[in-house]
Chain A
Amino acid sequence: MKKLTLGAFEEMVLLTVGVLQDNAYGVTIKAELEANMKKNISLGALYAALQRLEEKKWVNSRVGGITEERGGRRKQYFDITKEGVKALNEVRAMRNELFDRLPANKIKWLDI
């Protein structure tokens, strides 16, 4: 079986979905991402990423209830799954391991 990979942008999206907990849907994810990444994210790119994440079973989606402020419109919420958390952990572990192996003087230089 081919190992599933987590791209950099996907990782950001997945993290954001996790961070937002029960309030993760298109608009909020986009806003959060834009705040963190300091750049415009197109909804299309976001959906594409979410779609891939869903295919990999790292997020679940559910249709949320009707709210006043959206004029009776429903929304699609995303939740991070157990596997999703695991994937994040793996990536993080790998990254930390690599980071730990950086020579000390480089780190000093990087810290400036």
Chain B
Amino acid sequence: MSHGNIHSRPPRFGEWLLRSFCSYDYLSTALWDMEEIYHNNIEIKGKARAQWLYTKEALGVVYHLYFKGKSQYSINSIAMLKNNIIVSLRNLRKHKGNSFVNILGLSSALVIFLLTLAYTSYEFSYDTHHDRSEDIYRVYKSLNTIDDPEYRDSGTPAPLANTLKSEFPQIIGAARAMSYRKILMEANSEKFIEPIVHPVDPDIFKIFSFEPVSGNLDEFLNEPFTVALSETVALKYFNTIDVVGETITFNGQLPMKVSGVFKDMPENSHFKMEVMVQLESVMQAFEQNMTLWDNNPFYTYIRIEPGTDAEYLESQLPAIRAKYANDPLDADGQSTTYFLQPFTDVHFDQKVLGSLGTPVDGKRLNMFIIIAGIILGMACINYINLATARSIVRMKEVGIRKVIGAKRSNIVLQLLMESGLLVFLSLFLAVVITGLVLPALANFVDRPLTLKFQQLNLWVFIIALGLVITLVSGIYPAFVTTNFQPINALYGRGIVGKKGGGIVRNFLVVFQFAASFVLIIGALILGGQLSYIDNKDTGYSRDKIVVLSTRDDAVDDRLDEYMEEIRKVSGVSTVATSWSLPTNVTSNTQANWTGISDAERLPMYMVGVTHDFFDLYDIEVIEGRSFDKEIRTDRKSILLNETAVRKLGWENPIGREMITQSGIKSTVIGVVKDFHIKSLREEIEPLQIILSGNYATLAVKIEADLYETLVRIEEVYDSFSPVYPFEYRLFEDIYDRAYEQDKKTSKLSLWLTLITIVIACLGLYGLATHKVERKTKELGVRKILGAGTGSILGLLAKDFTKLLLLAFLVAGPVAYYIMNEWLDGFAYHIEIGAMTFVISLLLMVLVAAITIGYRTYSAAVSNPVNALRDD
């Protein structure tokens, strides 16, 4: 904050105040003098205090010159304004019930709106800090070998980036990137486990905007075995940022020279690079073949010349693929197709698999905005309804004003003033509540959300929002209220023969109810589906299974010994490794055997496991046998799942010969019961299981006290790997994470439903108020003629029942359609039953009955004399 004070601008808000209020001759004076004081204050008291003092002074100047001074600007409108405010406040206080209802509705809707805004604006700000980010694209691919038109994946081959760059002059920069998790880095003879390290090409600095802190950006990562660090990491490793030329050992084996330090990337980047190592040299060290076109471990990002036609570029990619990758275009197209995707869309695209960072569902964000807007709209509608209803009561007041000689515009202004007061009170309340709730929401969505109160444009937005809402919801009632002959008003005749508003009003209430219905039904179905997922038999057990992380080569080298040691730990019942967890089998291949026809080459998933895998996860072998430690030939054996057998159409699978991915002829020895190899959103795919010592996960089943046993396992682990910390995850947690998004949606939808119901009730309250106000006289007459309280309540409830049923008829199909769409995303889901609708209807009827009953009961039991006194 220290530099740049000389040119620091005073707070804009203060200037704006001055410019908008001050008469010309003193405006410039004030501006000049205050700027000087401001700069003096910065020197003495620091920037923040100087800013505050400036604003305070500005307020003072405006107060003295505009409100108190005798300038030509202090006109009567100020006095009028004062009077209006006083009257408005008086009205607010006088009708506590109405004001409360309005403020409650508006502020809760505004809280939802502001929270949604805080969240979505943060998400939409992702990746916007790079210069000309619209010229940055990511290359992704789709594979035609996988029998799924929706399949897209972010992995691209090694030669792609450079090929594109040499083929197309309009590509300024092309870089590959990868990410390694939990890499051991040694600097200054200290060891650090770096959570994520990115091997990248030096072009990355041409594509994205990085700010160098030390070193020259052009020289970052230009030489082999160099590394670039973010400021934070540099400080962590060396306690200084002046580290160019220092050495860091990567992964305990490769010494690397620091070639530069860059400013930390903002949190809202879809990848946040902290440590970058030169990709080419690391790959060489790992003996990775960098010429293969069908090995896809890399991300590819490109930057194009401004104004380049990206669509044309994309259309050229198949030709490139044909030319270099020997993948000619035949009848059914190439095996792989490349696409360009605008870089700023990456964060919102969950369809492309394996992206860097954690993409969010862009559609869902838009949905939130729409819902928040609808809720806000509903709250405004409620206000309109209530205010219009009150217009009947206020006719006398307005009539008297008119007779005294108020112009219509004065009264409209006065009424708008009242709306404004109410709206801004609600807004103030909403901002306070939002400020309180936001940390919880930030925690919930796992984003650093803040309302930037120090930023002027937030305030401008909030004030503008207030004004817009005031106008939207205030203007109609104001005109209705003032639109009559004063003489009628003073006679006490209501608005005679004006039925036009009724249809609109009823429509609005039906709309609100329908929205509430949709949300209630939606919430019920969401909850139902989630509990179904929780309780569904996935075909494997998750209980008491712990997944251990072994990142250390020292452990890998002695894996058998390590597993043996863990087995000896008391409390451990089974240990097994596999290529992946049963929840998420990713490796895919094709069915293959000698003499297979093309039609039979159906896609298959594949997982390599060790002997105890089936035991550990309780996966049932329903035919044949599982792998046996005593039988040496089991290295050439295969198990299939039921789906694979069914899709292959084999009667007796046991003993059939298949050829695995690595070309080994193997015999099918057994069939396992189907288990869900992906999330419940997807069908169970055909699966081959082979015996393999390669592994990605090591799982342990624990039959004693979990944490005591884990402590004992940790002791074993530490004796094998003194460097890397012991890490474990509960399988249950990993499983839950797959449905975390849905669980969050369910929680959110519960809140939204609640608020919507509240607002719909307030709308109903408004409608009931309106009815009661209009029928005061009628009710009075009926009572005098002997109608009981019950019959009067019935009379009032009759209309509402109609509206409620109508809303239900509208909402039912809509909710059914929307929820069916959502459920269709799951291959295994509940059916929407009639019960759901019945429950939602009962709930709404109950809520409506309470609301209307509350409002009309007082009218029904009131003394009819009061009602008829007017005439």
Chain A residues proximal to chain B, CB less than 8 Å: 25-27, 30, 42-45, 47-48, 51-52, 55, 70, 73-76
Contact = CB atoms under 8 A, between A and B. Distances in A.
Given A42-B64, A44-B60, A76 B29 contact: yes
B312 to A, nearest CB: 51
A30 B64 CA distance: 15
A51 B57 contact: no
Contact of A75 (B33, B59, B61, B68): B33
Interface in B32-58: 32-37, 40, 57
B34 A44 contact: no
Given A44-B65, A48-B68, A51-B71, A26 B32 contact: yes
B36 A70 contact: yes
A56 B61 CA distance: 20
A20 B32 CA distance: 19
B33 A43 contact: yes
Contacts of B32: 26, 70, 73-76
B593 to A, nearest CB: 84
Given A42-B64, A44-B59, 17 more contacts: A25-B33, A26-B33, A27-B37, A43-B30, A43-B33, A43-B34, A43-B60, A44-B62, A44-B65, A47-B64, A47-B65, A48-B64, A48-B65, A51-B69, A70-B36, A76-B28, A76-B33
A44 B64 contact: yes
Contacts of B26: 47, 51
14 contacts: A26-B30, A27-B33, A27-B37, A27-B40, A42-B61, A42-B64, A43-B37, A44-B62, A45-B64, A52-B70, A55-B70, A70-B36, A73-B36, A75-B33
Contacts, number: 65
Contacts of B71: 51
Contacts of A30: 33, 37
A42 B33 contact: no
Contacts of B61: 42-44, 47
Contact of A43 (B28, B40, B57, B70): B57
Contacts of B30: 26, 43, 47
B323 to A, nearest CB: 62
Nearest to B36: A27
A79 to B, nearest CB: 14
Most buried by A among B32, B33, B70: B33
The 10 closest A-B pairs by CB, nearest first: A26-B33, A44-B64, A44-B60, A44-B61, A42-B60, A48-B64, A76-B29, A27-B36, A43-B57, A27-B33
B171 to A, nearest CB: 46
Contacts of A44: 57, 59-65
Interface in B6-36: 26, 28-30, 32-36
A100 B64 CA distance: 37
A26 B37 CA distance: 10
Contacts of A76: 28-29, 32-33
A108 B59 CA distance: 45
Secondary structure at chain B's binding surface: helix, strand, loop or mixed? helix
Contacts of B28: 74, 76
A68 to B, nearest CB: 13
A48 B36 CA distance: 19
Contacts of B70: 52, 55
Contacts of B36: 27, 70, 73, 75
A35 to B, nearest CB: 14
Contact of B29 (A26, A52, A55, A70): A26
A27 B38 CA distance: 10
A26 B36 CA distance: 10
A93 B10 CA distance: 45
Interface in B379-399: none
A22 B40 CA distance: 21
B30 to A, nearest CB: 6
Contacts of A47: 26, 29-30, 61, 64-65
A22 B453 CA distance: 43
A37 B68 CA distance: 23
A30 B40 CA distance: 13
A52 B68 CA distance: 12
Contacts of B64: 42, 44-45, 47-48
A48 B60 CA distance: 10
A19 B61 CA distance: 24
A30 B53 CA distance: 14
Interface in B750-767: none
Contacts of A73: 32, 35-36
B33 A45 contact: no
B7 to A, nearest CB: 9
Contacts of B34: 26, 43
A30 B128 CA distance: 46
